[in-house]
A and B are shown apart, each in its own frame.
Chain A
Amino acid sequence: MANGIGSMGFLEPYAISHQPSAIFMLHRFSKFVAACTVLLILAGSLVTSHGAGLSVPDWPTSYGWNMFTFPPSMWVANIWYEHGHRLVASTVGFLTIILAIWLWIAEPARHWLQRLGVIALAAVIAQGLLGGLTVLYLLPPAVSTAHAGLAEIFFCLTVAIALFTSPDWKKGYANETSPVSGVDDARLRRLATGTSIAIYCQILVGATMRHTGAGLAIPDFPLMFGGVIPDHWNAGIAIHFAHRLGAIIVAAMAIRSAIYIWRSHTDRPELASPALLLLILILVQVVLGASTVVSRLQPWINSFHVVCGALVLTLSMIITLRSWRYRFGDVQVRPVGQRSEQGRQAGDVGDVGQVGQIGPVA
């Protein structure tokens, strides 16, 4: 099967490099890192929602103490959120170091995945630096928004790594009844990719709104100053309006993608299931967004809105990556130990997913 991106080194065929149990452990660990990143995003959003971003005025120290020796007795009031965020971030950073090393060791045949681990590590380091800089420079909106935007990218990286290390991904979502690796559907790829990009843009607008204090620039919901559109404008109102408009656009795109998946690929649970979940999460997200305004930015509602947005993004990204799975290299069911001619020519030794049953043929 043609492999358009493989020539760039991004889609080299898989190789059995380690014992299956170790590979599954890597997958589980990458899922653990992704889960911890959800907690990190929650911790970060709680900082902003509580206005606690400057409650620890120094960085990387905390009130002059080393971050890790800052006395717990001093974790009072808003410091709990800011210092807790720093500690969770440090933990995720440490876990990412392990993940990057583990990927480097365990995935020698998938160089692109090794590099993805390094990129994730670089992202989390840059994220930490951005977090520090925004404290030292007293929360400039541009830096804080960049911090929020990079957080989403890092979360996407951890989820993508978890996906790429999953047995199903390695199998190409092929099974005994559907021995085809993924689906080759250009329209699906366009829809899914467009939706993911739109969600990320929407999150950036939301982050800009949060960090410029425009969360209540339009104080009513669902109307805006009593009308369908605002009757007066300033920068805050424009950003807030863009976020509400973006929500409609993103929801419409997600619904369009989901309907297309259900109509065209109902036999593909790796697409149909997340499509359903995506719609549910979008509904929850809209309710949380409305509740955030109605509750006058209640910190926990506001924070769950941020976290749900991140989950919507990564879920859409999973659908997108699965829609592109076909282009990552073809896989089909074949007898145990059989290697394709092309695979042999390429030096490939087979796939690791469902070892002994599934392997690449191109």
Chain B
Amino acid sequence: MRLRNAWVGVLGIALAASVAACGGSQETSNTSAAPSSPAATPGGQKVDTANAGSVKGKVAFDGTAPKNEAIKMNADPVCLKEAKGPQSQETYMVSSDGKTLGNVFVYVKDGLGSYVFDTPTESAKIDQKECRYHPHVFGMRVGQPLEIVNSDPTLHNIHAMPKANQEFNNGQPIQGMKMTHTFTSQEVMVPFKCDVHGWMNAYVGVLPHPYFAVTKDDGSFELKDLPAGTYTIEAWHEKLGTQTQSVTIAAKESKDVNFTFKAAATTTN
């Protein structure tokens, strides 16, 4: 009798696993959803762009940047073929003079109050090409579709590891495959990784407003169309942590905010 009960238990688990397996295969389709949360507070005011100002600046780098880790793609011959020449991580994108830092996500962390913003209908995009993510760091809006494309003639899995949103892991075994995903909660940053190719990683900042930018190679950024107010601006780097500054702008005013990351710095707030 005990044995029979054990078998019934095993079959029960098998049935549950089958159901779970079906759910998993559905998740590999082109769209997956996450728990909902409002992108903006209904009834808030819209930004008057005619009277808006801006914040711009540079992210400087102090010290000698560590050398980006070399990537060996030998594990996948297709990657070797697609990504020509020596490959390295994009962790420290310093300028040629070593004084500015790219791939820093700069955004308004606080101060927007009750402003509301339309959610873009056009998709943000992340591409898996030459066995890397393009872009490596980017921003998008809460509720905005994210198009995930595999442009490589090899297979990838796209594995997002958010904390506030729903984690997902989908396979894209065929070149040209696309899927979309919508993040429904603000989160800075959501890491992406490919578990097949361990060197592939990317980060996306998901925000309920449009005031974000990723620094260029020269470290520059600009947050346009900011209404007058006092804001907390945060700069995030994948290894060097975060820095924040407060800035007050008047209508139609443009102010500079500059950050400096040090080579051995950690999170400072």
- A residues near B, CB below 8 A? 50-61, 63-64, 74, 76-80, 115, 118, 122, 125-126, 129, 132-133, 135-138
Contact = CB atoms under 8 A, between A and B. Distances in A.
Contact of B195 (A55, A74, A126, A132): A55
A101 to B, nearest CB: 15
Contacts of A125: 10, 14
B263 interface: no
A136 B23 CA distance: 9
Given A64-B173, A77-B75, A78-B75, A136 B24 contact: yes
A54 B197 CA distance: 11
Contacts of A115: 3
B20 interface: yes
Contacts of B23: 136
- Which 7 pairs between the two chains have the least Cβ-Cβ distance? A77-B75, A55-B195, A63-B173, A76-B76, A54-B195, A57-B169, A136-B24
Contacts of B155: 63, 74, 76, 79
B264 to A, nearest CB: 17
Nearest to B28: A58
A51 B161 CA distance: 14
A54 B169 contact: yes
Contacts of B14: 125, 129
Interface of B: 3, 6-7, 10, 13-14, 17, 20-21, 23-25, 28, 75-79, 154-155, 157, 159, 167, 169-171, 173, 195-198
B10 A126 contact: yes
Given A63-B155, A74-B155, A74-B173, A118 B25 contact: no
A135 B79 CA distance: 25
14 contacts: A50-B198, A51-B198, A57-B169, A57-B171, A76-B78, A77-B198, A80-B75, A115-B3, A122-B10, A132-B17, A132-B21, A136-B17, A136-B20, A136-B23
B80 to A, nearest CB: 11
Contacts of A63: 155, 171, 173
Contacts of A54: 157, 159, 169, 195
Contact of B3 (A52, A61, A118): A118
B200 to A, nearest CB: 10
Contacts of B157: 54-57
A53 B196 contact: no
A278 B195 CA distance: 37
A51 B23 CA distance: 23
Contacts of B197: 77-78
Contacts of B20: 132-133, 136-137
B148 to A, nearest CB: 13
B21 A77 contact: no
Contact of A133 (B7, B17, B77, B171): B17
Given A59-B21, A78-B195, A129-B13, 13 more contacts: A51-B195, A52-B198, A53-B195, A54-B157, A58-B21, A60-B21, A76-B76, A76-B77, A76-B78, A77-B79, A78-B75, A132-B21, A137-B20
B21 to A, nearest CB: 6
B221 to A, nearest CB: 33
A113 to B, nearest CB: 14
Contacts of B196: 52, 55, 76-79
Nearest to B73: A77
B248 to A, nearest CB: 38
A60 B7 CA distance: 20
Contacts of A77: 75-76, 79, 196-198
Nearest to B20: A136
Contacts of A133: 17, 20
Given A57-B169, A57-B170, A64-B171, A126 B13 contact: yes
A53 B159 CA distance: 12
Given A64-B28, A129-B17, A138 B198 contact: no
B171 A59 contact: no
Centre residue among A54, A59, A122, A133 by max chain B CB count within 10 A:
A54
Contacts of A122: 6-7, 10
Contact of A57 (B28, B75, B198): B28
A299 B191 CA distance: 23
A60 B14 CA distance: 11
Nearest to B11: A125
A38 B191 CA distance: 35
A52 B154 contact: no
Contacts of B6: 122
A138 B169 contact: yes
A237 B7 CA distance: 40
B35 to A, nearest CB: 15
A58 B171 contact: yes
Centre residue among A53, A58, A77, A115 by max chain B CB count within 10 A:
A77
A90 to B, nearest CB: 15
Contacts of B170: 57
A10 to B, nearest CB: 14
A137 B23 CA distance: 10
B132 to A, nearest CB: 14
A76 B75 CA distance: 6
Contacts of B3: 115, 118
Centre residue among A58, A74, A122, A135 by max chain B CB count within 10 A:
A58
Contacts of B24: 57-59, 135-136
A325 to B, nearest CB: 26
Contacts of A59: 21, 24
Contacts of A76: 75-78, 154-155, 196
A48 B184 CA distance: 31
A125 B14 CA distance: 9
A58 B25 contact: yes
B25 to A, nearest CB: 6
